Amino acid sequence: MVGVMGMADVILPGSTIGVLGSGQLGRMLALAARPLGYHIHVFSPEQGTPTGQIADVEVCAAYEDLDAVRAFAREVDVVTYEFENVPALTAAACQEFAPLRPGPQALHISQNRLREKAFFAANSLPTTPFAAVHSLADLQAGLAQIGCPAVLKTAVSGYDGKGQIKLMHPHEAAAAWQAVDQVPCVLEGWVTFERELSVVGARGIDGRFAHYGVIENSHHHHILDVSKAPAGVPPGVAQDAIEMAHAVLAALDVVGVLCVEFFLTAEGQLLLNEIAPRPHNSGHLTIEACVTSQFEQQLRAVCGLPLGSPMYRQPAAMANLLGDLWFSTHQAAEGLHAEARKQAPEWTAVLGIPNLKVHLYGKREARPGRKMGHMTALADTIEEAEKIVRQARRVLTD
């Protein structure tokens, strides 16, 4: 049901948006805020950050420094976040002085894989078989119930494949439990999937919903590699994914942007994998491809403005640019030290490619596996767009 929005809920252009976290997602939000005249204040423990380089004010303090958090919140009109590992007390301190959008419930659920899986189950959303693991005995019981292969994932702080161990046999339980430092985990059944999909959606303060359809994703070493949209899936699958994403945003009363990640099995079954209550790497292609990008949509939602059109101008594909590109494979084979072989890619080699846009995040240090930027291509088909970004990235490695 669409609610009634009051003028007190609307944060008009010229106001100040506070951002918790200072990575590339905050940077792209800040860039989207500029054309509408908003100011950006960012809070994180680091200085000279991707967001801080674009913001009006960069506050450098620990998230646990609640006095600094409160001082930050007093100076802004609304607070949002660009990563979900914001401490609960930090979020609560902000709410004393400014609206927090999305609210604390979305943070609470998404910060913990056990809570996330329980949320899916409570809302009748299909997911992989899972079991809570708080001890070696729990792990052994879970393996007996779910079977092998299975994946043991730490309940908190895991991303891009970190904090995950695949178990092929029950006798590996003790070693796996030691490897995760005996912290709370979730054990998931192994999924043989055909594709990985995502739906980036936005929900306004009035309950209205907008989405970017289904995006198809491929990963390399557990890190998103290439995304393309609209995904080539049957209409029924796309509709089901969109409806499930809408259900997640509504159940969490999200005001802002949220991404739902899915597995699609060979039988055509959708399984929810994870949620992220913020713009998502797979949605970066919306900057060029859509009338309203996911970042402008985040801005509109958290400020209580009408949501913009998510319509695609053309099919698109996005390729991540990782820190690996800064390191020469040939030199690595010669055994040179990392610092001796670090060199920025030759960007002029790709900047002349038609229908290709390059985004760099301003990170000071390149490291293997670190997301340093992305490239997006538009074309008449998703196949052609994907071919352009993959070929462009190969040019950077020559």
Least confident of 159-163, 369-373, 385-389: 159-163
**pLDDT at residue 163 in the model:** 77
Residue 326 phi, psi (nearest 5) = -80, -5
Provide mean pLDDT across the span 382-396: 96
Question: Encoding tokens for residue 283?
Answer: 């949605």
Is a pLDDT exceeding 60 seen at residue 382?
A: yes
Q: Measuring CA to CA, which residue among 264, 115, 195, 367 is closest to residue 104?
A: 115
Residues present in the chain in total? 398
**pLDDT at residue 330 in the model:** 46
**pLDDT at residue 212 in the model:** 98
Quote the CA–CA distance of 10 and 31 in Å, as a whole number. 20
% of the chain beyond a pLDDT of 70: 93
Quote the CA–CA distance of 199 and 230 in Å, as a whole number. 10
311-345 residues labelled b (16+ CB within 10 A) or e (exposed): ebebbbbbbbbbbbbbbeeeeeeeeeeeeebbeeb
Q: Measuring CA to CA, which residue among 99, 53, 63 is closest to residue 78?
A: 99
| C-alpha distances out from residue 89 to 67, 95, 230, Å | 11, 10, 39
**pLDDT at residue 341 in the model:** 54
**pLDDT at residue 7 in the model:** 57
Is a pLDDT exceeding 50 seen at residue 2?
A: no
**pLDDT at residue 329 in the model:** 52
Helical spans, DSSP H, in the chain: 24-33, 66-74, 88-95, 104-110, 113-122, 136-146, 173-179, 235-251, 286-289, 294-302, 329-333, 348-351, 382-397
- pLDDT tens digit string along 180-219? 999 999 999 998 999 999 999 999 999 999 999 999 999 9
Residue 8 neighbours by CB distance under 10 Å: 8
Is a pLDDT exceeding 50 seen at residue 331?
A: no
> 230: cis peptide before it, omega within 30°?
yes
- pLDDT tens digit string along 120-166? 999 999 999 999 999 999 999 999 999 999 999 999 876 555 678 99
The order of strands in the sheet holding 16-20 is: 57-60, 39-44, 16-20, 78-81
Quote the CA–CA distance of 74 and 228 in Å, as a whole number. 40
Provide mean pLDDT across the span 99-110: 95
Residue 202 neighbours by CB distance under 10 Å: 27
**pLDDT at residue 3 in the model:** 44
Is a pLDDT exceeding 60 seen at residue 332?
A: no
Quote the CA–CA distance of 81 and 52 in Å, as a whole number. 14
Question: Encoding tokens for residue 225?
Answer: 């590699």
60-81 residues labelled b (16+ CB within 10 A) or e (exposed): eeebebbebbeebbeebbbbbb
Quote the CA–CA distance of 59 and 79 in Å, as a whole number. 14
**pLDDT at residue 159 in the model:** 59
Provide mean pLDDT across the span 383-388: 98
Quote the CA–CA distance of 165 and 128 in Å, as a whole number. 16
Alpha carbon 276 to its chain centroid, in Å, reads 5
Question: Encoding tokens for residue 313?
Answer: 């101008």
Question: For the chain, what is the mean pLDDT?
Answer: 93
For residues 328 and 361, is the Cβ–Cβ distance under 8 A? no
Quote the CA–CA distance of 227 and 285 in Å, as a whole number. 8
Kindly indicate the confidence band of residue 338, based on its pLDDT and cuts at 50, 70 and 90.
very low
The domains of the chain, with CATH numbers, are 7-100 (3.40.50.20), 129-189 (3.30.1490.20), 193-397 (3.30.470.20)
